[in-house]
Amino acid sequence: MRKCIRCQTKMIEDLSVMVSNGAYGIDVRKGRFKGFFGKIKCAACPECGYVETYIEDTDKLKKMDCE
């Protein structure tokens, strides 16, 4: 469970980040064509409207840090 860093309310999680007027999500990569780390997801606070982004599966990021 994610809590809002501004008002401590439980956030709504697992929301998608989309490009306006398109059906494409935003990816996090190292380089242009390789090193895909996962799709960005977001959580939104229903109380104050604060939005944060995150990557759900951080295993690939942890492995990159060791290289």
| Domain range annotation of the chain | 12-66
What is the structure's pLDDT at 60?
A: 77
By three-state DSSP, how is residue 17 classified? coil
What is the structure's pLDDT at 42?
A: 92
Contact 42, 51 (CB under 8 A): yes
What is the structure's pLDDT at 65?
A: 61
Q: How far are the Cα atoms of 17, 24, 26, 44, 57 from residue 20, in angstroms, in the given order?
A: 9, 9, 11, 18, 25
Q: Could you report the per-residue pLDDT of 18-42, keeping only the tens digit for each?
A: 776 666 666 677 666 666 777 888 9
CA–CA distance, 19 with 15 (Å, rounded to integer): 13
pTM of the model: 0.71
What is the structure's pLDDT at 2?
A: 95
Span 3-28, average pLDDT: 83
